[in-house]
Chains A and B, each alone.
Chain A
Amino acid sequence: MSTYSSFKSLSRALFLGFRRDKGALFFTVLFPLLFLVIFGGVFGKQSTGKVQVVEIGAVPVLDQAIAHDPSGELRKTVKISRNDDRAAALKKVGKGDADAAVEQSDGKIVVHYSGADQVKSGVVQSVVQQVANSANLAATGRPPTYTVATQQVEDKSIKGINFFTPSLLGWALASAGMFGASQTLVLWRTKGLLRRLRLAPVPIPTVFGARIVVSLGIALGQLAVFLLVAQLPFFGLKLQHAWWMAIPLVICGVLTFLSLGMLVGAWAKTQETAQTVTQLIVLPMAFLGGSFFPLDYAPKWMQAVSYVFPLRYLNEGMLNVMARGLGPASALPQMAILLGIAVVAGGIAARLFRWDAT
C-alpha cells in the first residue's frame, strides 16, 4: 500500500470538504477581502483633493500663472472657479464649499480663507504668495538667483493599502489557521473519526500531513487573492522587490497558527468551547498584533504587548518585504520566531492530544 496515494486522496477529500463549506469560504476569503476593500478604499488614498479657490472678479496674476505653468504643478493642487458676486463667494468659503476666495485690485491681492481646514488654507496662502513672488520677479526682468528642485524621500512609515494588504492578510491567515485546526480536531474527535483513522493502517502523520498541506494550499490561495485584488488600479498596491519572501513567511505563519489551533483543539472538549476560545485569541491578537492599525502609531504599552502575539511577527515580516522594500533576509528573524512558536505549541498540543472524547 502506498502512503503517498493515501496522502493524495486524503488531501483531496479534505480540500473538497473545505470548498463545500460555505461558512469557511466566507470567513477565510470573502470576509477579510471585504475588510481590505473597506480599509483600502477609505484609508488607502493618500492624496488630498485639490484646493478649491474662487476668484472674485478677475484675478489676472493667478490666471496667468496657471496659464504658464510648465510643470503642471499648480494645476494639480489648485482648482479655480469664478464668481463675480463677492458676498456669494465669501459665503461659499464660509460654508466650506470653497477653501479660499481671492480678489485682486491692481497690485493688491487679497486672500479670504477659512480656518476650518488649516492644511488647505495654508496651501492656498503659500500658493498665492508664490505666484505673487514669481510675478514680482518676472516684472524686474532679471533671471532668478535661486531655484528650488524637489525630490520625494522613501517614507518608512507605511500607510494605506501598503499597510492593509499584508496586515489584513495576516489576520485572515491567523483566523483561518486557528479556526481550521481547532474545529477539525474537536470535530474529528467527537465524531469518532480520529478513532476510526487510528484503526486504519495509514500512518497517523500522513493524516495530519494531509490536513496541514490543505491548510497551506488554502493560505497561498488567500495570499494570491489578496495580492491580485490589492494591485487593482483602484487600490494601487505596489509590491516591493522582495515581496516573494511573503510565500515562505505565509507558510511559517500558517504552521504557527495551525499548531496554536491544535493546542486549543486538543484541550477543548466541545466545538463550542474551541470556537469561543479561538475567537478570544484571534480577535485581540489581530488588534494588538497590528492587523487593523499600524503599530508605529500605537502607544508604547501596546507596542510592548504586541510582542506576545505571533501575528505581530508575520505582519512585520510581510510589511518588511512587501511594503518597506527591505531585502529578502529582513523576513528571516520573523520566520525563525514563528517556527519556534509552532514547535512549542505543537509540542504541547501533542502532549494534550486525546484520541477519543471519553
Chain B
Amino acid sequence: MTNTISVHGLRKRYGDVQAVDGVSFEVAEGEFFGILGPNGAGKTTTLEIVEGLREADEGEVALLGLKPWPRNSRLLPRIGVQLQATSFFERLTAREQLRTFGSLYGVSARKADEMLETVGLTEKADERVEKLSGGQAQRLSIACALVHDPELVFLDEPTAALDPQARRNLWDVLRAINTEGRTIVLTTHYMDEAEILCDRVAIMDRGQILEMGPPAALVRGLDAPTRISVASGVLSAEDARRLTGVDEVSDDGVSLVVETRDPSSVVAALAAKDALDGVQIRGATLEDVFLELTGREYRA
C-alpha cells in the first residue's frame, strides 16, 4: 500500500533562516497525523510545501502519489486545506460562503448546506462571516476545507486563539471527520491537543523533526517519573520518603508531590495510610518529551 503522504529530505531557506532543515515523514491512509512544535519551528512552512503553496529548495513530496508542485489541478480536488488565517469572501453569510467555496469544486448548494450542519453552524447560516465568533469562524473555515469531500485534509493550527470550550467543540468535529476515514494532517502548538487527537505526532523544532511516533509511545519512551500529589498535611514529607518506590518528595504547603517510577505500589501504600485526600496522578506529557529533546521548557 502506498502512503497517502510521503515526504523526503525537505529543505527550505529564507535568507539566513533555514526554516525547514531536512524533514522526512510518511502518513498512512486514515491516519490523524500531528506536527507539533513552538512558533517558528517550521511547521507552517513544512505544511505549505506539502500542500503545494511553496516550492521546496530540496526534497520530494508526494500526495496520493502525485506531486503538489507546481499547482496540480488533478490533485487539488482530492485535498482540503484550512489555512491559518480565516480566509473568507467579504460580507457573505456563512451559507453563501460555503456555497461559493463549494462551487469552486463543483459541489451542489444542497451538499454545502449539509456541511454547515456537520460543523454545527446551521443556526448561524444567515450570519455574515464578520459577525461569527472565533470558534464559529474556525468551524466555517474547516467546513470550507471539507465541502468537496476530500480524501486528505490539512489543518493549520485550527484551534489557535480559541477559548477552551470552543477548542473542545472543535476537537469533536475533527474526531468525527477522522472517523469517516479521511487522512488528517494538523499542525498545532498545543501539546495536549496533539496528545488527545493524533495517532502519531512529529515534534519539530528549528526546522527539524526531533521525534516521531504515537504520543503515548513517545511519553513512555521518556521513562519520566509519574507525579502523585495529595493535600498537604495528610502525610509528612519524611513519611512519604520512606514509602517504597518513591524517588523524590516535595511539599509546598498546598500539595505534597511524590515522584515515582512505580506508581501502583506508591498509590497502594498511600491508600493503606488513608492518605489519598485530593489525590491527583499525572503522568509525563508531550511537554516533558519536548523538554527532554531540546533541554528547553516548552513555550507555545
Query: Which residues of A come within 8 Å of B, CB atoms?
Result: 1-2, 5-6, 8-10, 12-14, 16-17, 20-21, 187, 191-193, 195-203, 355-356
**Interface size range of chain B in the complex:** 20 to 34
Given the known interface contacts A191-B85, A192-B83, A199-B81, the answer about A9 and B76 at a Cβ–Cβ threshold of 8 Å is: no
Contact status A9-B103, CB under 8 Å: yes
- Contacts A196-B81, A201-B73 hold; do A13 and B96 have CB atoms under 8 A apart? yes
Chain B minimum-CB-distance residue to A7 = B103
| Any A CB within 8 A of the CB of B79 | yes
Indicate if B288 sits at the interface (CB-CB under 8 A): no
* Cβ distance A225 to chain B, nearest Cβ, rounded Å: 22
Is the beta-carbon distance between A20 and B91 smaller than 8 angstroms?
yes
Contact status B106-A193, CB under 8 Å: no
Distance, CA A12 to CA B86, complexed state (A): 21
Asked whether, in the complex, the Cβ of A196 is within 8 Å of the Cβ of B76, the reply is no
Give the docked Cα–Cα distance between A201 and B96 (Å): 19
- Chain A contacts for B71, CB-based, 8 A: 198
Q: Would A200 and B76 count as touching, CB distance under 8 A?
A: yes
Contact B91 A21 (CB under 8 A): yes
Cβ–Cβ contact B89 & A17, under 8 A:
yes
- Report B127-146 CB contacts with A as 1/0, cut-off 8 Å: 01000000000000000100
**Quick check: is B92 within 8 A (CB to CB) of the other chain?**
yes
Check A200–B104 contact: CB distance below 8 A: yes
- A200 x B51 contact (CB < 8 A): no
With contacts A16-B96, A355-B53 known, is A195 near B106, CB below 8 A? no
User: Are B84 and A192 interface neighbours, CB within 8 A?
Assistant: yes
B171 within 8 A of A: no
Which among A10, A16, A191, A200 is the interface contact of B91 at CB below 8 angstroms?
A16
Residue ID in chain B nearest A10 by CB atoms: B100
List of A residues within 8 angstroms of B85 by Cβ: 191-192
* A-chain residues with CB within 8 Å of residue B88 when the two chains form the complex: 191, 193
The answer to whether A14 touches B104, judged by C-beta atoms less than 8 angstroms apart, is no
Residue in A6, A13, A20 whose beta carbon sits within 8 Å of that of B106 in the complex? A6
By the criterion CB–CB under 8 Å, are B53 and A193 in contact? no
B104 engages A201 (CB within 8 Å): yes
How far, in angstroms, from A1 to B78 measured CA to CA in the complex?
A: 13
Q: Scoring B residues 114 to 130 as 1 if CB is less than 8 Å from chain A, else 0, what string do you get? A: 00000000000000100
Give the residue among A16, A187, A197 with the most B Cβ atoms within 10 A.
Answer: A16
What's the Cα separation between A203 and B105 when bound, in Å?
A: 11
When the two chains form their complex, are residues A14 and B53 in contact, meaning their CB atoms are under 8 A apart?
A: no
Query: Would B53 and A1 count as touching, CB distance under 8 A?
Result: no
- How would residues 45 to 69 of chain B score, 1 for a CB under 8 Å from any chain A CB and 0 otherwise? 0000001110000000000000000
A13: contacting residue among B76, B100, B128, CB under 8 A: B100
20 A–B contacts from the bound complex (CB under 8 Å): A1-B106, A6-B103, A9-B99, A9-B100, A12-B100, A13-B97, A17-B91, A21-B91, A191-B85, A191-B86, A193-B88, A195-B53, A196-B81, A198-B53, A198-B71, A199-B53, A200-B101, A201-B105, A202-B104, A355-B53
B84 nearest CB neighbor, chain A only: A192
* A200 partner residues in chain B, CB cutoff 8 A: 76, 101, 104-105
- For A193, the closest partner residue in chain B by CB is B87
B105 pairs with A193, CB closer than 8 A? no
Distance (whole angstroms) from the CB of B112 to the closest CB of chain A? 10
Q: How far is the CA of A59 from the CA of B144 in the complex (A)?
A: 88
Residues of B contacting A187 in the complex (Cβ-Cβ under 8 angstroms) = 90
A196 to B77, CA, bound (A): 13
In the complex, chain B residues 169-196 whose Cβ is within 8 Å of any chain A Cβ: none
Cα separation A12 to B96 with both chains bound (whole Å): 10
| In the bound complex, CA of A5 to CA of B100 (Å) | 10
Q: Known: A10-B100, A198-B53, A201-B104. Contact between A193 and B79, CB under 8 A?
A: no
Q: Chain A's nearest CB lies how many Å from the CB of B111?
A: 13
Given A198-B71, A201-B73, A201-B77, A191 and B87 touching (CB < 8 A)?
Answer: yes
Check B92–A16 contact: CB distance below 8 A.
Answer: yes
Cβ contacts under 8 Å, A20 to chain B: 91, 128
B101 neighbours in A (Cβ, 8 Å): 200
Which chain A positions have C-beta within 8 A of B81? 196, 199
Q: Nearest chain B CB to A40's CB is how many angstroms away?
A: 32
Which residues of the partner chain A approach B90 to less than 8 Å between Cβ atoms?
17, 21, 187
By the criterion CB–CB under 8 Å, are A199 and B76 in contact?
Answer: yes
Residues of B near A10 (CB, < 8 A) are: 100, 103-104
CA separation between A196 and B71, bound complex, in Å? 12
With a cutoff of 8 Å between Cβ atoms, the chain B residues found around residue A356 in the complex are: 53
Least distance between A218 CB and chain B CB atoms (Å)? 15
Q: Are B92 and A2 in contact (CB under 8 A)?
A: no
CA distance A121 to B76 in the complex (A): 81
- Distance in Å from the Cβ of A2 to the closest Cβ of chain B? 7
Smallest Cβ distance from A193 to chain B, in angstroms? 4
Q: Are A199 and B91 in contact (CB under 8 A)?
A: no
> Shortest Cβ distance from A350 into chain B, in angstroms?
16
Chain A: minimal CB distance from B49 (Å): 13
A191: B residues at CB distance < 8 A: 85-88
User: B89 near A14 (CB under 8 angstroms)?
Assistant: yes
In angstroms, how far is the closest chain B Cβ from the Cβ of A179?
14
User: What residues on B are CB-neighbors of A2 within 8 Å?
Assistant: 106
Are A13 and B53 neighbours in the complex by a CB distance under 8 Å? no
Task: State how many angstroms separate the Cβ of A168 from the closest Cβ of chain B.
Answer: 27
CB distance from B15 to the nearest CB of A (A): 12
Q: Which of B79, B87, B99 has the most CB of A within 10 A?
A: B87
